[in-house]
Amino acid sequence: MDPSRKRKLRLVIFLAAALLLATALVYTSFSASTEASKPSEVQPGQSYEMTGKVVNDSIERDGDELRFRVRDRDGTESVAVLYSGVVPDPFREGREVIVEGELKKGTFVAERDSLVTKCPSKFTKEKEGQSS
């Protein structure tokens, strides 16, 4: 095979591989992704991954069970959550959380161990519950 054909062949292989990778990326990511819903969006009868802020003064612990309310990040609508399982270290009122589960009789019953809490900002000007 003469050099220029070799080079063209390599280019074709490279482009094909790139195309394959891109297809894999797009296909797998859109099918595997989970849509995080706001508390105001959850409806009964379907499982969701809900994300929002923990409402102040709403946390109650009862043995293994944890009850709290979650509200929209930029709103006031909130949903009561019943959760059991591991509670992450940063969990506290006012923090953003993600929890999976289903709305049953007005309470969002969460899947065990599905609670994820986001660490508070390290580089932000506003501080939660601290005077400066």
Partner 1 sequence: MAGVGSACLTIGLFAALYAAGASVYGALNRRREWVSSGRRAIYCLAALCLVAFAILEAAFLRTDLSFALVAEGSSTDTPTFYKVTALWATQDGSLLLWATLLSLFSSAVLFLTRRTLRDIAPWATAVLGVVAAFFLLLMVGWENPFGTLAVAPQEGAGLNPLLRHPAMMIHPPMLYTGYVGFSIPFAFAVGALITRRTGADWIRATRRFALVAWTFLGTGIMLGALWSYTELGWGGYWAWDPVENASLMPWLVGTAFIHSIMVQEKRGLLKVWNVSLICATFVLALLGTFLVRSGILESIHAFGASTIGVQFLLFIATVIAASAALILWRLPDLRSEAKLDSLVSREAFFLLNNLVLVGLCLVILWGTFFPLISEALTGTEESVGPPWFNRLTTPLALALVLLTGIGPVLAWRKVTPSALRRILLVPVAATLAALAGLLAFTNAADSPASLAMFCFVAFVLTVVAQEFWRGASARRTMTGEAWPRALARLLGRNRRRYGGYLVHAGIAVLFLGVAASSAFLEQRDVRLSPGDSFEIDGYQVTYREATARLGGDSSGTGAPIAFGAVLDVRKDGKHFTLRPSRNFYSSADPSLGTISRFFEGEATSEVDVRWGLRKDLWLAVRPDISALEKPIAEADAKFADTPGDVQALIIAALAERYRNDPPPAAFRAIASPLVAWIWIGGAIAVLGALVAMWPTPEARLRRVRAIYSARLGKELSRA
Binding positions for partner 1, rule: CB under 8 A: 3, 14, 17, 21, 24-25, 28-30, 32-36, 61, 64, 85-90, 96, 113, 116-127, 129-132
CA atoms within 13 A of residue 132's CA, in its CB half-sphere: 7
Give which of 113, 71, 130 is closest to 95, Cα–Cα: 71
Nearer to partner 1, 109 or 116 (CB): 116
Nearer to partner 1, 94 or 104 (CB): 94
Show Cβ contacts of residue 119 under 8 Å, excluding neighbours closer than 6 positions. 90
- Shortest separation between residue 91's beta carbon and partner 1, angstroms: 10
- Shortest separation between residue 10's beta carbon and partner 1, angstroms: 8
Residue 60 phi, psi dihedral angles, 5° rounding: -135, 135
Q: Which two three-digit tokens encode residue 24?
A: 């894999």
Nearer to partner 1, 27 or 104 (CB): 27
